[in-house]
Amino acid sequence: MRTKAEEPAPERVDEPAETEAAPKKTTTRKAPAKASAAKAATPKPAAGKGQNLQDIFLNHLRKQKTPVTMFLVKGVKLQGIVTWFDNFSILLRRDGQTQLVYKHAISTIMPTQPVDAAMFEMGDEQKGKRMLQDVFLASVRDAGAQVTMFLINGVMLQGRIAAYDLFCMLLEREGYVQLAYKHAISTVQPITHVDLSGDWAGEE
């Protein structure tokens, strides 16, 4: 959570942006070693008008030059630093070499360092009739329930849904986070019971 600076001394606190998220897989993706570094008060990235979760997440990684591990839908692992991105692709740089990666081929993006998931929390902006997935994901997120998520390539991820938008979800586990694209997800199942009754606001 952000702490407001006191008026008398306009101090600037530069916090190292700790980044990371580690998922748990059925195959061989292992979470990076547990980092027990004290969490500095990292400022919440400003969500510009029209910005969605993946824009805020990728922009944070780009500005902090945070190394990431990226898995493609086919299981290929890429590593590097995000130098730029747009609606359809991401530029990944490693050892002086840059490659263009199309988003439709990406399943997950995981920073190699712990990141405070609260930085990416987003409010529910949808009004009126909501889609089933919005009702379900909002209920699971608000309940703080752990979920088991299977990707279309059979990989299993586990963690807490910290945030989501129309195209992706942010999964948090033991201080590490990873962005999972919905086009790569097959199922999402809460480990504990989540009450969905009364969440159909706006339904006739």
| Cβ count near 155 (within 10 Å) | 23
pLDDT in tens, the chain (204 residues): 344 444 444 444 444 444 444 444 444 454 444 444 434 444 555 444 457 999 999 999 999 999 999 999 999 999 999 999 999 999 999 999 999 999 999 999 999 999 988 888 876 655 556 788 998 999 999 999 999 999 999 999 999 999 999 999 999 999 999 999 999 999 999 999 988 875 555 554
Q: How far apart are CA 126 and CA 42, in angstroms?
A: 27
Q: What residue numbers bound the domain in which 85 lies? A: 53-190
User: 168 near 137, Cβ under 8 Å?
Assistant: no
pLDDT, position 131: 84
What's the CATH number where 110 sits?
Answer: 2.30.30.100
- Nearest 10 degrees: Cα torsion 3, 18, 27, 141: 10
* Number of structural domains found in the chain: 1
For the chain, the distance separating the N- and C-terminal CA atoms, rounded to the nearest angstrom, is 37
In a domain? residue 26: no
In a domain? residue 41: no
In a domain? residue 24: no
CB environment 160-180: b (16+ within 10 A), e (fewer): bbbbbbeebbbbbbebbbbbb
In a domain? residue 200: no
Q: How far apart are CA 4 and CA 58, in angstroms?
A: 25
In a domain? residue 87: yes
pLDDT, position 106: 98
In a domain? residue 203: no
Residue among 173, 42, 185, 187 at smallest CA distance from 120: 42
For 90-109, the DSSP string reads EEEEETTEEEEEEGGGEEEE
